[in-house]
Amino acid sequence: MKKVWFITGSSSGLGRSLTEAVLAQGNIVVATARDTHKNIDLQLKYEDQMLSLTLDVTNEAQIKQVIEETTERLGRIDVLVNNAGFGITGATEAFTDEQVRSQYQANLLGPVNICRAVLPHMRTQRSGRILNISSIGGRITSVGLSIYQSAKFGLSGFSEALAKEVKPLGIKVTAVEPGGIKTNWAGASMGFAKPVEGYETTVDTRVEAFKSGHFVPAGDPLKVARVIIDMVAHPEPPVHLVLGSDAAGILDQVNQSREAEYQQWLPVTLSTDSDH
């Protein structure tokens, strides 16, 4: 039976690779993007399998409209992939109010609102798969990415809580947490704060790595897309799925450091219980 996939940010990067791979398998894709013209070639090739809809994930009214149109025309949504988002780099104090707002709206509030709009339909079906594309930056932190990564921390945490909430309804939720992928995340789609004095050896080095092209991600978007497709077919998918050797290496180091700190301060942790 063909599944109906709803994919955000389908016009570039991982979203585009995933959209192509799902269509090639014969499934139906609701391919959403701010600029649907970038998917015209796919629309022509898969006209009977693809519904191309304009969606800005920061627009709540548009989210509701697009979900309603999808269910009216196709009858169901089997798989939701919250992929749309973008990064921004800089010192925390240097980000503008708009830059901070846009990060949380696109990378956290957008996926949350889309889940809220899709869940009533999946609840009625008593089935569904939700894959929220987070990041290894939703498990660990690094210099210059405080706002982006805090949004991804929120998305990974939301995904874990939601997975527990909807499991009895036959709905599975996975936070996909990749390391670097060979897309334009660190290139054309990356935003930057204005430089601030004092961060020359920390934030500025990260900014330079991105702007110079010295940051070379290891992840293959096609391989990531295949893994996501496999997750949809798996009867018991993980709640957190870390992808990439870079992500695994960093996470191992951070977990060891966190455990050491926890053990060091455990006596203090246990000292705050009430005597009564």
Report the alpha-carbon distance of residue 107 to residue 99 in Å, rounded. 12
| Active-site residue, 148 included | yes
Amino acid identity for residue 8 in this structure: T
For the chain, where are the alpha helices, taking DSSP H only? 13-24, 40-45, 60-74, 97-104, 110-125, 146-166, 203-212, 221-233, 245-264, 266-270
Q: Torsions phi, psi of 128, nearest 5?
A: 155, 155
- Which position among 10, 12, 134, 150 bears the catalytic label? 134
Q: Which tokens sit at 226?
A: 């295949």
Query: What torsion do the CA atoms of 234, 82, 130, 2 make, to the nearest 10 degrees?
Result: -70
Q: Which of 148, 156, 172, 199 is catalytic?
A: 148
Is 134 one of the catalytic residues? yes
- The answer to whether the beta carbons of residues 90 and 148 sit under 8 Å apart is no
Question: HEC profile for 115-135?
Answer: HHHHHHHHHHHCCEEEEEECC
Q: Given 135, 150, 152, 199, which residue is catalytic? A: 152
102 in catalytic set: no
Residues with active-site annotation = 134, 148, 152
